[in-house]
Structure 1
Amino acid sequence: MLGITKDLGLSASATGVLLSSFFAGYALMQIPGGYLADRFGYRNVILISVLMWSVFTVLTGSAWSLTSMIVIRFLFGIGEGGYFPSGSKALASWFPQNERSRAMSFMLASGAIMGVITPILSTHLMTSVGWRSMFYMIGACGIVITLLLFFFLKERKADALPGMATEQAAVKPKAPLKTVLKTPMIWNLFLAYFSVYAINWGLNSWMPTYLVKARGLDMTSVGYLSAIPAFVGIFGMLLSGYILDKLPAGKDRLAAGILALVTGGLLYLMGSASSIPMFIAYQCLVGVFFAFISTLIASASLKSMPAELVGSANGFINTGAQVAGVLTPMLIGFMVDAFGGSYNAAFIMLVAFAALCAGALFTARAKPAAFSGLQARTAAYEESTGGTNI
């Protein structure tokens, strides 16, 4: 982002708007993407999402002004937006209940892995070939991945369990989104996901600029330092999935709420850290706790909702995360400009989001009784057949 802002001559506020434009499109596509996955299958939605991601990555390298970049990044978000809800539905189709947190943690960890690779790779590419060529190269790799998915990604729908066709039909909704919106726990998860991702997007989008402008580091050093918390986050993500599959229902949300409060304290310490090593150490702990909280929220609907609702449910929940992606970078940009380049107000805002996340998790209700009976019978059947629901 530093290379783009310098080339296009963007202010902090304009940079915030640019960062948010992608998430605006991405957020708008979450609910439609989940519906399309439930209606037409996750394979088709995933293929289209990855293809559109690749095309708009290439087009990003062709942007000539702030306006053109905003439009491209907005359409970029629209194109990619169906990936997460359709991927969630794929996990619900392939994995039994007691393995879905681990499956989700692997899916989320792919993003954490790129969080390690991207800062290092992008800084080297920007300094060697420029940011435009960098986007061309990454987009070409995406097109190759799309072709591989076309040949190797398969659709696999859950079969009706013996003796349960009537019960399945009784809970299968005619209006998936309406049914999702009537589930109180989904609203809590939406708010919690919004809050925790407000922290995540705030740190990911602005910490490189903060380290350069407020801490005086060069771009290469920032690239390596930014990779450290992301690398730690990979292990946190994978470990969190294993732990969550072992925790009793309800205890997982309590633990995540406590970690959200601790995260708020760590964010305060980050803002007042006296040295770069301490700053990075606090950020690493924030990354580990973020991994646990985000994995819990993303896998909760996979465990508590019928398979027919998973795409719509996670599409709605993830809308909260993407709305945070729209608002947080812009808010931080405006705050930095308003306070003369100081980031103190931005850190205070992130602490408040941590408290909001904790409150949403502490007050989350149990899953609906209508779904609980079906899920219990499904789990019993899985156990009797060796742990498979397909």
Structure 2
Amino acid sequence: MKFRGQYRSTILAMLLLATVINYIDRSALSIAMPFITHDYHLSASEKGIIFGAFSVGYAMFNFLGGYFSDRFGGRSVLSWSMSGWSVACALTAAVSGFWSMLVLRIVFGMGEGPNAATSNKVVNTWYPIGERASAAGIAQSGGPIGGALAGPVVGFLALAFGWRAAFMVMGVLGIGWVLLWRRLSTELPAQHERVSPAELAQIEAGQEPARVKHGQKVSIREVVTKRAVLTTGISLFCYNYVLFFFITWFPSYLVDARHISLKNMSLVSSLPWITGAIGFMTGGLIVDAIYRRTGRRMMSRKIVLVTSFLIAAACVALTGIVDEVWTAVAVMTIAIGFLMLAGPAYWAIIQDSVPRHQVGTASGFMHGLANCSGIVGPAITGFLIQSTGSFVSAFVLAGAVGLIGSLILACFVSSKEQMGVPTPA
């Protein structure tokens, strides 16, 4: 993948930064919650409702954001999305209690919802076929990078200046990103003065022409009834089940089952995020390298996704069984690394499976369906732990769900469903 001397690298850097900010902002409430609880005396049930409220707005606007990006363009929707969640983040500093925080958390989820699908739409617009998986992987790697940075960044701001200041700083950072994005980007590469004719020809070579213009309607029914889109969404649901299991319960597992101190837990739990960032960045590069070597587009996506997801699923199940705490941490770190390695292939498969004017809608539908796991997965895990008195069954179930997700995609998504685009020379 070529980075130097290409203006699309600037666009990709902005998408990466947007996702980093997205995940830091998303994690800020969890990190600041002990301070907020001290001020407002929130009960455990109230905190649970506030945490869950994010997923309500988020899953809804995964789909709507993707649909809007097909109608109005990825650049515009991403601008409004970042503006909305940044304002909601900053306004968190002004909450007066449970209800105002609940409303803001829903609005915050609505603002962040379009980010992934809209980013995928921008990648589809700005990158040639042989580089899309790499670009999607780098853009989405901002998630684990932001997850790793959230604790130190938000924690330092909250301790040094107060939790309200932390939310205000992150809100201002997001608005600054929007101003820079509007200055550096255009909706189409052909509209940008810094995109050379040679780069434009490279971007457009072999691409399927967009069949509708922004502002025209996209048939939602046509998108969601495609087998590849629905199957990929179900597989990503399983993927996100494993991811949400890690995000929501792995820290508690370290403290409650393995008796690690809170200080050590905050450091240890960041290790999987680091390997995850590396996995997301390299996963797309591997996919594109296989495609350029073989010319087999869907095969290059599936072989990386299925193999990596199977390894991740096995490691997650094994984590709950091993005896030593540091072995469990090491195995879970490997699991998240391979899980993230599989991630870019999902976004590439969606781009391969629908026409260009449906990429945003298909990405949003897939992502929205997948994020429903964030509502049901943690609850199922909690029930298992409470009923069995152990984390073992929860780890094994998460591994089994990962196995199902990988096999579904392996069996029911085929190269026959990809859009007809010439193979590389």
> 3-state SS of the aligned residue for 2:186?
coil
Aligned to 2:419: 372
Aligned to 1:4: 33
1:209 CA displacement: 3.2
CA 1:175–1:143 in structure 2 vs 1: closer, same or farther (change >3 Å)? closer
2:205, 2:319 → 1: CA distance? 54
- 1:78 aligned partner, one-letter code: M
- Which of 222, 231, 251 is equivalent to 1:208? 251
1:286 CA displacement: 1.1
- Which of 37, 45, 50 is equivalent to 2:69? 37
Answering whether residue 267 of structure 2 is matched by residue 224 of structure 1, we say yes
**Correspondence 1:340-379 to 2 at 5 A:** 342-367=390-415, 372-373=419-420, 375-376=421-422
1:324 CA displacement: 1.6
1:36 CA displacement: 1.0
1:31 CA displacement: 1.8
- Which of 76, 94, 109 is equivalent to 2:108? 76
Contact 1:17 1:329 in 2 (8 A): no
**Correspondence 1:163-182 to 2 at 5 A:** 169=211, 175-182=218-225
Q: Can you list the C-alpha shifts for 1:295-316, whole angstroms capped at 9, x where unaligned?
A: 1112212233321111111111
- Which of 129, 133, 137 is equivalent to 1:97? 129
CA 1:77–1:325 in structure 2 vs 1: closer, same or farther (change >3 Å)? same
CA 1:328–1:61 in structure 2 vs 1: closer, same or farther (change >3 Å)? farther
Contact 1:88 1:104 in 2 (8 A): yes
Structure 2 portions without partners, runs of 5+: 1-29, 191-199, 291-295
- 1:35 aligned partner, one-letter code: Y
Q: Can you list the C-alpha shifts for 1:42-101, whole angstroms capped at 9, x where unaligned?
A: 111001111111111123344444444332211111122122222111101111111100
> 3-state SS of the aligned residue for 1:372?
coil
- Which of 245, 268, 276 is equivalent to 1:233? 276
Aligned to 2:377: 328
Contact 2:31 2:154 in 1 (8 A): no
Q: 34-43 vs 207-216, which deviates more?
A: 207-216
- 2:402 aligned partner, one-letter code: A
> 3-state SS of the aligned residue for 1:363?
helix
- Which of 178, 184, 202 is equivalent to 1:152? 184
CA 1:2–1:122 in structure 2 vs 1: closer, same or farther (change >3 Å)? closer
> 3-state SS of the aligned residue for 2:372?
helix
**Correspondence 1:275-354 to 2 at 5 A:** 275-338=324-387, 342-354=390-402
1:251 CA displacement: 5.1
Aligned to 1:52: 84
1:169 CA displacement: 4.8
1:126, 1:317 → 2: CA distance? 35
1:219 CA displacement: 3.3
> 3-state SS of the aligned residue for 2:413?
coil
Q: Can you list the C-alpha shifts for 1:239-267, whole angstroms capped at 9, x where unaligned?
A: 11111113333253244224323322211
- 1:109 aligned partner, one-letter code: S
Aligned to 1:246: 289
- 1:192 aligned partner, one-letter code: S
Contact 1:192 1:360 in 2 (8 A): yes
Contact 1:233 1:287 in 2 (8 A): yes
**Correspondence 1:183-194 to 2 at 5 A:** 183-194=226-237
> 3-state SS of the aligned residue for 1:216?
coil
Aligned to 2:5: none
> 3-state SS of the aligned residue for 2:258?
coil
CA 1:220–1:163 in structure 2 vs 1: closer, same or farther (change >3 Å)? closer
2:167, 2:233 → 1: CA distance? 32
Contact 2:141 2:277 in 1 (8 A): yes
For normalisation by structure 2, the TM-score amounts to: 0.78
Contact 2:31 2:151 in 1 (8 A): no
Q: Can you list the C-alpha shifts for 1:134-159, whole angstroms capped at 9, x where unaligned?
A: 22222222222222222222211679
1:117, 1:163 → 2: CA distance? 39
Contact 1:19 1:326 in 2 (8 A): no
Aligned to 1:386: none
Contact 1:20 1:329 in 2 (8 A): no
1:97, 1:111 → 2: CA distance? 23
2:110, 2:281 → 1: CA distance? 29
Q: Can you list the C-alpha shifts for 1:150-184, whole angstroms capped at 9, x where unaligned?
A: 2222211679979999x8659x9964322212311
Structure 1 portions without partners, runs of 5+: 384-390
1:118 CA displacement: 1.3
% identical equivalent positions = 25
Contact 2:123 2:135 in 1 (8 A): yes
2:146, 2:211 → 1: CA distance? 41
- 2:135 aligned partner, one-letter code: A
1:188 CA displacement: 1.1
2:281, 2:93 → 1: CA distance? 33
Aligned to 2:10: none
> 3-state SS of the aligned residue for 1:272?
coil
For normalisation by structure 1, the TM-score amounts to: 0.85
1:91, 1:274 → 2: CA distance? 44
1:163, 1:243 → 2: CA distance? 21
1:329 CA displacement: 3.0
- 1:4 aligned partner, one-letter code: M
Q: CA RMSD in A?
A: 3.0
1:14, 1:278 → 2: CA distance? 35
Q: 224-233 vs 324-333, which deviates more?
A: 324-333
CA 1:251–1:48 in structure 2 vs 1: closer, same or farther (change >3 Å)? closer
